[in-house]
Structures are given as C-alpha cells and as structure tokens.
C-alpha cells in the first residue's frame, strides 16, 4: 500500500477498502467503515533473513518445552492441555461477560504453579484490580500487577521482567506512539497486537490478549486480531444466566471447538467439570418439546437439552425464533419434515432453544432438533431417559455421526437408558443402553409418535 493512498477499514471485520462505503462488502455491517492512517511500517523480519533450515533438522532440535498447567482444568483443556510457552492467545467476549475475572483467576492459578505472571490492565486502576482480587480470594497470589496503556512502556517492562505469561486487558485500550490513531481504532489494535505477538515469539513470553466484542461503532473488535494469534478463545454466555462457556475457535496447539464451562458466582468463576450434569440439572418433568442431545464439544461428550415450542401463529408469516442453534438448520429440518414425512409447520410459530445458554453447532443435533419439534407439535413427550443424535440428510435419511461410542458412554454415565440413533451407527463397547437404530426420519416419526 502506498503511503499517501487513503485507506478505509471496516471496524467490524478489518477488511480494507480503497474508498468509503456505507456498508461493508465483506461482512455486511452498516456504518462500520472509517478512514485510517496507513500502517507506517510493515512486519519486521525475525532473525537472520532468508536463512533456511531443512524440515528434518527442525525435528531433531530439542523437544518442545512442556506446557504450563494452571490447575484450572477447564482452562487447561480449552488451551489444548495447558499454556504453550511463547504463544499468543486472544480471549474475546462481550463487555461484562467476565473476561477480566477469568484472566485474573487464571493469572493467580498460573502464578501458584510457579509461572511468573504479569497482569496489565488498561481499563481499571490498580486499586480496582486489587479489590477484585480480594473478592476472588486471590489477594495473596504472587501476580505482578500493572496499569498501563502505552505499549512501548509495557514492552519495556516485559523485556525487563521476562514473565512466563503476560495478560493484556484489553487490546482496545493500548496505543503505540508510532500510529496516529486513537486507541481502539483498527490501526492501533492491529499494530499493538502485531507488536505483542512478535514480542511473544521473540522473547518466549506467552501473551494473552483480551478483546471486547463490539457490536458496531468506532472500536475495532477482536476479529482484527484473530489471524495474528495462535489461539482464539471466546468467552460466551447469556448475561442473565450464570453459565459461561470458554470456546476455542482456533488453536494451533489443540482441538478447536473445545469448550470449558464455568459458573459465575459471587466469588468469581467456578469450574464446572461435568457440564452434562449441569446442563441437564434443571430439567423439568417430562414435557412435550424437550429432547436430550448427546453431543461432542471438542474432545469430550456434552449432553444438552433442546427445547421446542410450537403454537398456532396469528401472523401471516409465522415466527421462527432460534437461540443457541443455527436458524438455517432449523429451516432445513422443517422443510425435510414437511417434504419427506408429510408433517407441515405452516401457520405455526416455532421457538427453538438450547437450555443453559449453550450453543450447538454439530449437524449431529439434527435428530434431537426434529424430535423436539415433533414432540412439541404432537404434544407427546419423549421418554425422559432417552438421548438422541444423528444427522438428517435432505432425503430424510439418518446418517451416522462420529464418536457414537463416546456419546453413548456419557449418556449411560448420566443414567440414560435408551438412545435413538441412525441405523448403521457403530456403538462400539457402549453398554447398558437400549439402542434404537432408525433408517430415516419417517421411521423415527412412526416409532416415536405413531404418525
């Protein structure tokens, strides 16, 4: 990019354009494009230029340093088995969801395991951070605190201190004096993150960068940083719910889609080591419209309750409201039910929800979704001790999904006694469950609802 050329950047997705537009062509956000000063310097090369090493030599270099464990098992799991030295990690999430709380607890845990930790807050005064630490019962944890927003000063401190882990809370408050833009702008966020990631690699300091998700406006969101870091974690949850889910959406050092589950309490975040039990804890008496899905999140099985409500619609175009699932998937399943099984939802409002604030993305949830919908429509409850899973194809056939055995084992562990699943699934050594294999949605509907 030539230095004089004006540059316009979308604050939502960081796409850059030659000219301004009201709507971002890349992500579709309105009013998100702003003019930005071009980057003054490109990425600097690390180490001697152009040196090449045969791949085989890399393998014979010493074994990778061990990962540091925090002792917070949910966090270690999401990181892919602990913190990788010199890695750069982004933790994104809505403001107020609990990122600072999580990371202060993480810093204390890592510090207690002997990792030198520096927590730098650009948002709160040190008295405020200390108050939070007291509330969390961490006032005596050996964590170094800093309140600073000048990245140059922060990097100088990090260079002198050489901690094992530095936490930067948040990237939107940081600024570099070489960039002529306000903190939080795309160019500042990008340049600051770039410096931090470079520093992490060069100096062997693991860095966790906090980024607030911004709906719209002048502040650049964590997406600007996503491609620069090794690991991207999002902290999610409904504000009214106490459950929080830390989800890996990208991880160079572990499974993506891994989740860690926490509960926000008066004394900070408590780990939930058995999420299935938690998500199913408040299940009401058997009621029409509820189906338990045996899912896989990352490397572990998680059972969730899928709830549907179907009611006559007063509207010309009935409502389709979905929370925690993909709405496109709902439309597909409704279409398959109508076309292949002959059960229409025309004139009916449909509400679909995953209990506990979970978000389910697996196609394996199809069968449980269809079951919840049918159960709500026919007003017939699904047996309380049954789990369901399976992908529905457009022909209405049920397709086996991965990790059948793990799903069934988790269900058996939680006291379920039967499972509806695609015919041809390989249950392996899963025992103690009555398996009801079904070839297609019509067979399922006939067997479960006599329709």
Dihedral through CA 322, CA 323, CA 329, CA 335, nearest 10? -20
φ, ψ of residue 90 in degrees (nearest 5): -105, 130
Please count the residues of this chain forming the interface with Mg ion, following the rule CB under 5 A. Answer: 1
- Give me the residue whose beta carbon is nearest to Mg ion: 100
Nearest approach, Cβ of residue 354 and ligand TYD (Å): 22
Nearest approach, Cβ of residue 144 and Mg ion (Å): 18
Please count the residues of this chain forming the interface with ligand TYD, following the rule CB under 6 A. Answer: 15
169 is in an annotated binding site: no
Distance CA 44, CA 401 (A): 46
Q: Does 121 sit near Mg ion (CB under 5 A)?
A: no
Q: Which is nearer to ligand TYD, 135 or 203 (CB)?
A: 135
Nearest approach, Cβ of residue 357 and ligand TYD (Å): 15
The piece of 17-25, 90-98, 183-191, 379-387 that touches ligand TYD (CB under 6 A) is 90-98
Residue numbers 202-241 binding ligand TYD by CB under 6 A: none
Asked if residue 83 lies in contact with residue 233, where contact means CB atoms within 8 angstroms, the answer is no
Listing DSSP states for 367-415 in one string gives HHHHHHHHHHHHT-PPPTTEEE--EEPTTSBEE--TTHHHHHHHHHHTT
Buried b (16+ CB within 10 A) or exposed e, 324-357: bbeeebbebbbebbeebbebebeebbbbbbbbbb
Distance CA 212, CA 100 (A): 11
Distance CA 313, CA 194 (A): 52
Residue numbers 35-74 binding Mg ion by CB under 5 A: none
Binding site partner of 396, from Mg ion, ligand TYD, none, Cβ cut-off 5-8 A by kind: none
Q: Does 183 sit near ligand TYD (CB under 6 A)?
A: no
H or E element in which residue 184 lies: none
146 is in an annotated binding site: no
Binding site partner of 158, from ligand TYD, Mg ion, none, Cβ cut-off 5-8 A by kind: none
Binding site partner of 320, from ligand TYD, Mg ion, none, Cβ cut-off 5-8 A by kind: none
98 is in an annotated binding site: yes
349 is in an annotated binding site: no
97 is in an annotated binding site: yes
- Which of the 8 DSSP states describes residue 365? G
Distance CA 430, CA 181 (A): 59
Distance CA 106, CA 113 (A): 11
Helix axes 327-336, 366-378, angle to 10 degrees: 60
For residue 136, give the 3-state DSSP assignment.
coil
For residue 93, give the 3-state DSSP assignment.
strand
Q: Which is nearer to Mg ion, 143 or 374 (CB)?
A: 143
Q: Does 340 sit near ligand TYD (CB under 6 A)?
A: no
Binding site partner of 96, from ligand TYD, Mg ion, none, Cβ cut-off 5-8 A by kind: ligand TYD
Binding site partner of 268, from Mg ion, ligand TYD, none, Cβ cut-off 5-8 A by kind: ligand TYD
Which residues have CB under 8 Å from 58's CB, separation 6+?
none
99 is in an annotated binding site: yes
Asked if residue 391 lies in contact with residue 416, where contact means CB atoms within 8 angstroms, the answer is no
Q: How far is CA 240 from the centre of its chain?
A: 18
Binding track over 251-270 against ligand TYD, x by CB under 6 A:
-------------x-xxx--
Residue numbers 120-159 binding ligand TYD by CB under 6 A: 132, 135-136
Asked if residue 416 lies in contact with residue 384, where contact means CB atoms within 8 angstroms, the answer is no
Burial of 9 (0-12, 13-18, 19+ CB in 10 A): buried
Tell which one of 42, 47, 54, 96 touches ligand TYD (CB under 6 A). Answer: 96
Q: Does 100 sit near Mg ion (CB under 5 A)?
A: yes
Nearest approach, Cβ of residue 137 and ligand TYD (Å): 9
96 is in an annotated binding site: yes
Q: Which is nearer to ligand TYD, 97 or 308 (CB)?
A: 97
Q: Which is nearer to ligand TYD, 268 or 301 (CB)?
A: 268
Binding track over 98-117 against ligand TYD, x by CB under 6 A:
xxxx----------------
Interface residues toward Mg ion, by CB under 5 A: 100
Interface residues toward ligand TYD, by CB under 6 A: 93, 95-101, 132, 135-136, 264, 266-268
- Feature table: binding site for ATP: 93-100
């Amino acid at each position: 990019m030539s230095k004089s050329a004006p540059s316009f950047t979308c604050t939502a997705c960081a796409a850059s354009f030659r000219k301004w537009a009201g709507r971002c062509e890349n992500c579709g956000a309105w009013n998100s494009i702003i003019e930005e000063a071009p980057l003054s310097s490109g990425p600097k090369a690390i180490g001697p230029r152009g040196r090449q090493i045969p791949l085989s030599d890399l393998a014979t270099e010493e074994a990778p340093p061990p990962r540091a464990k925090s002792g917070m098992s949910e966090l270690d799991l999401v990181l892919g088995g602990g913190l990788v030295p010199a890695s750069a990690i982004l933790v994104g999430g809505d403001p107020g969801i609990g990122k600072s709380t999580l990371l202060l607890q993480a810093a204390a845990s890592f510090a207690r395991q002997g990792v030198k930790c520096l927590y730098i807050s650009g948002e709160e005064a040190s008295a405020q951070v200390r108050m939070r630490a007291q509330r969390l019962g961490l006032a005596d944890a050996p964590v170094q605190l800093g309140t600073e927003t000048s990245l140059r000063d922060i990097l100088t401190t990090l260079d002198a201190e050489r901690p094992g882990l530095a936490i930067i809370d948040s990237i939107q408050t940081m600024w570099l004096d070489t960039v002529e833009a306000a903190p939080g702008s795309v160019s500042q966020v990008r340049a600051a993150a770039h410096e931090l990631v470079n520093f992490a690699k060069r100096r062997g300091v693991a860095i966790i960068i906090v980024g607030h998700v911004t709906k719209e406006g002048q502040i650049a969101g964590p997406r600007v940083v996503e491609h620069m870091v090794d690991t991207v974690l999002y902290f999610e949850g409904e504000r009214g719910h106490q459950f929080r889910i830390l989800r890996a959406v990208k991880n160079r050092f572990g499974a993506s889609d891994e989740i860690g589950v926490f509960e926000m309490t008066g004394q900070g975040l408590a780990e939930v080591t058995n999420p299935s039990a938690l998500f199913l804890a408040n299940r009401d008496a058997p009621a029409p419209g509820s189906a338990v899905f045996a899912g896989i999140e990352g490397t572990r099985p998680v059972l969730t309750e899928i709830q549907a409500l179907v009611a006559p619609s007063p509207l010309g175009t009935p409502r389709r409201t979905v929370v925690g699932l993909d709405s496109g998937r709902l439309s597909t399943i409704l279409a398959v039910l109508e076309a292949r099984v002959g059960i229409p939802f025309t004139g009916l409002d449909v509400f679909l929800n995953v209990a506990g604030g979970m978000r389910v993305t697996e196609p394996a949830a199809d069968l449980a979704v269809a079951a919840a919908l049918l159960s709500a429509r026919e007003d017939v409850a699904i047996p309380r001790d049954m789990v369901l899973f399976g992908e529905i194809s457009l022909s209405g056939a049920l397709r086996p999904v991965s990790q059948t055995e793990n799903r069934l084992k988790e269900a058996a562990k939680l006291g379920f006694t039967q499972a509806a699943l695609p015919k041809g699934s390989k249950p392996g050594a899963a025992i103690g469950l009555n398996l009801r294999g079904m070839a297609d949605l019509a067979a399922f509907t006939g067997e479960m609802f006599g329709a």
